[in-house]
Each structure stands twice: as structure tokens, then as C-alpha cells.
Structure 1
Amino acid sequence: MVSVSSQAALGLLVRRLERIGQLSDAERQAVENLPAKVQTLRPRQDIVREGDKPEHSCLIVEGWAFRYKLLGGGRRQILSFHVPGDVPDLHSLHIDTMDHGLAALTQATIAFIPHECLFEVTKRFPGLAGILWRETLIDAAIFRQWITGMGQRDAFGRMAHLLCELYCKLEAIGLAPEQRCNLPITQIELGDALGLSSVHTNRVLQELRAQGLVTFRSKAFSITSWDGLVRAAEFNPAYLQLAK
């Protein structure tokens, strides 16, 4: 059952865009007036599949989502995790066919915004088009960090970096009180994101706990030593562009 109005969803989008760049009153009103269809999806339900030709982009309003790529033999690579305020398929404005899938990680409320309306508003407001373009560039910066981690960090560093990233994104939207964050991600999903087996994933999580960096409890984690976690990850949050 949907409990979030389209108006509330678009207000979330305005706040997200205002963290990236300055909106004029007219640009803000244009975003708030976009048509949006709000739906609630069950956990692991696809939002869009590889090969689809979507006619809308989606805004995560509540819950979490993830990008993924399926390979032969049931293998899966998770490409990113997404939290409220993210628009994970904004690139589909200019790419006709999806080359990966996007699914709800938890029960999630999603606002679907038609491409034709996004095109129209960006033609009217070039400054807004620039902010949306910058959103996709931030997305690309996150991909570069993940690629660097897969290629050059050990498993401990990869996991530490992911937890730092998730904490910073959640803290920016007020969902990380006292350095405690929800973590509705299974060990299998963490392994699929970081290129680790379930056994290795568990071992790394235990090591993070043993070193006094993080504690885990009931699908959540608390950071007990932020400085230590940052050192382990060699983490610099600049790529997330969250300074505002």
C-alpha cells in the first residue's frame, strides 16, 4: 500500500538536487510539478530489467534498491546500492535499452517520472539539466571507486570502504543517528557486491568487529571508530559531493 504522495516524493527530489546545485524558484516549482506515479515494491522485486526500454526514471522514496548484472550459471554482480533520494536510472533518459537490472532491496516506495516530462523540463531550464547531468557524473564517480576497490583493495579494505560510503550517504539524508545505520543487506549480497564468497564475507565482517571498528546488530551497523574505518578503507568522501 502506497503511503507517500507524489508531492512528497518530488519534494525529496528537490532536496536531493539542491545538495548538488542551486535551484531557482522556477526550477524548483518545475520539479515539484512533474507527474510522478508512486508505487510500493516488495523486497527483491525488479524495478527494471536488463533489455527493457524504460519510458520513465525512478526516484527511491523509501527503502533501498540495488543495480545488478546477471551472468551464466546464476552468477550475479551487484553494481551499486541506493538509498532514498537516489535516481539510479537517470541515464536511461539517453540510453534506450537497459544493460543491467535494477531491483528493490527491501520493501521500497518508488516514484516513476516519465522521460518525456524530464526532457521537457530540461529544455525549459538548462540550469536544471546541468544539475541532473552532474547527478549522473556523481554516479560515475561511485562506479570508479567500486572498480578501484575490486582491482586494488583487499577484501578488508573493500568492505570498510563500502561501509564508509553507505554511512556518508545515509548521514546526508538524516538516516544515520549517532553513527548507526540500517544495513538491510545479506552476506550473500555483500559478497556479490564485493566479489567475495559468503564465507570470506563473514570472515571480513568478524575482523572489522574484532578490530573495534564496527559493530553489527539486527540488520544495522554502528561505527565505533570512524577514524579507524577511514584508515582501513583509505576513504575520501569527496567523490560523493556531499559537502552541501
Structure 2
Amino acid sequence: MIANAHAGPLLRKLETIVTLTQGERDAIAGLPFMAREIKAGQDLVREHDRPSQCCLILEGHTFRYKLLADGKRQILSFHIAGDIPDLQSLHLRIMDHGLATLGAARVAFIPHEILRPFLHAHPRISDAFWRDTLIDAAIFREWVVNVGRRSAYSRLAHLLCENFVRMRAVGLAGPGSFEWPVTQEQLADATGLSAVHVNRTLTELRDHGLIDLARHKMVVKDWQGLQDAAGFEHTYLHLQTPPEENGTMAS
């Protein structure tokens, strides 16, 4: 029985990539999560910080980013409930990027001094965290390809496909829509496009019947068409059950 409700998002995330025993689930639920409500647009950790704790996303969306000397921003990744985006701070003492909230979010902090011995005592859970970190790296590789080689049309379609699959895997999206509190300026920072180009490309995707846009929500009208537009193939997400096998992508 899971006594700590804060563990739910983390367990759902881990079980998309590994199989946990009941004892391992209970051990994770016993961690001392310290939950906090965070406003939109707030930094959870900044570049050059020396964190003493890791941050688990319980509700809402966050993003990693880098700021350039001229003030321009590159968004490096988006994160959802169940992610621990700063897990690397366990072993890398100085942060080389920032982590901020998109909208209002609920997060839980786990002190390093507790998490390190916990992972030493539970090697299979440690392996699960290591696997999650490797998948994180695979997603980074796909983002490099996305920004460097795909057209604007395919680039945005790919980003939407990725987020749809990841959110469906942990039960955060319906069969044809998902929460998407991302502005066009933020999409521009994530894809290396201008906000005007993002607006024009989203309009193209909508006019071609692939998506529809609502306030803080993305509606996928033609999932196969969106995948084709993106050249999307989900292998790099390394899900235990691929979306087409468990039927979660059916509309």
C-alpha cells in the first residue's frame, strides 16, 4: 500500500520504463517528499547554483533552459509530473543550466543527503533512475536532430508528438488531447524559430487538419498524420509498452 501520495507521479513515470516490485514501490513512497506550490515563471534552480536537493514534479510543467550573454534563451527540454529534471545534481555539484516552471506547478524536494544512501540501499531503484537519465540523454539527442535538421513544420510536429506520447504514457493526456500551457514565444525558444514562424507553422498544422488549438490545450485531430509530418518514431523514449501496443493513442 502506498502511504505517500507524493510518490504517485514518480511511480507512474518509473513504471513506464521499468518494472518495480511492491517492496520497491513502498520504499519510494517512504521517501520524505517536501511539497511546495510554485507560481508560473519561477526558477526552481538557476545556472551556477549548487543544489542540496532534487526536485520532483508533482503537477504542472517545467522546462530546462540556457541563457546566452545577449539575453536570448534556449529551452532544452520540457518536463511533466513524475520527472526529476535535476537528478544529475546528485553527482554534478554545479548546475550548468536553469530549471523553471511554465505555469503554476506543484513540486516536491528530496534532499541529496537522503536520496544518495537510499539509492545505495536499493540498487534496482538506482538502476531505474540511471535508466531514466539515459532516456533523458536520448531525448536530448532527438532534440539536437530536431533543431538542426528538421524543417519548421516537422520540428513543431515532432515536439507535439513527443509530448503527447510522454503524457499519455503516465495518464496525463486524453486519447486526443493534452494540456499544453506553452506560449508561442516558449515554443520559439525550444525550436530555434521566431515566434512569428511558430505562429505560421502552427496555423499550417491546424489548416492541414492535424491539430487544433485551445487555451492551454492541444487537440490532436489526426495522430497518424501528425506522426507522418514529424517523421516521428518513438523508440528513443524507450517505453516498456509502446503506445500502439497498449492502444493509448487511439482517438
Give TM-score scaled by structure 1 length.
Answer: 0.95
How far apart, CA to CA, are the structure 1 residues paired with 2:240 and 2:20? 16
**Equivalent in 97, 103, 114 of residue 111 of structure 2:** 114
Which residue number in structure 2 is paired with residue 213 of structure 1?
A: 210
How far apart, CA to CA, are the structure 2 residues paired with 1:181 and 1:91? 28
Q: For residue 170 of structure 1, report the CA deviation from its aligned partner.
A: 1.3
**Equivalent in 58, 61, 79 of residue 61 of structure 1:** 58
How far apart, CA to CA, are the structure 2 residues paired with 1:203 and 1:215? 14
In the alignment, does 2:12 pair up with 1:9? no
How far apart, CA to CA, are the structure 2 residues paired with 1:75 and 1:141? 25
**Equivalent in 209, 214, 222 of residue 225 of structure 1:** 222
Identity across matched positions, percent: 49
Which residue number in structure 2 is paired with residue 86 of structure 1?
A: 83
In the alignment, does 2:24 pair up with 1:27? yes
- Relative to total residues, which structure has the larger helix share, 1 or 2? 1
Q: For residue 70 of structure 1, report the CA deviation from its aligned partner.
A: 0.4
Larger CA deviation: 233-242 vs 62-71 = 233-242
Which residue number in structure 1 is paired with residue 238 of structure 2?
A: 241
RMSD: 1.2
Task: Could you tell me which runs of 5 or more consecutive residues in structure 1 were left unpaired when the two chains were aligned.
Answer: 1-5
Q: For residue 169 of structure 1, report the CA deviation from its aligned partner.
A: 1.2
How far apart, CA to CA, are the structure 1 residues paired with 2:128 and 2:32? 19
What's the CA shift string for 1:157-214, capped at 9, x where partnerless? 1000000011111111222213111110000000000001111111101110111111
Give TM-score scaled by structure 2 length.
Answer: 0.92
Q: Structure 1: which amino acid aligns with 2:240?
A: A
Which residue number in structure 2 is paired with residue 50 of structure 1?
A: 47
How far apart, CA to CA, are the structure 1 residues paired with 2:168 and 2:122? 30
DSSP-derived class of the 2:193 partner: coil
In the alignment, does 2:132 pair up with 1:150? no
Total equivalences in the alignment: 239
Which residue number in structure 1 is paired with residue 246 of structure 2?
A: none
Q: Structure 1: which amino acid aligns with 2:106?
A: T
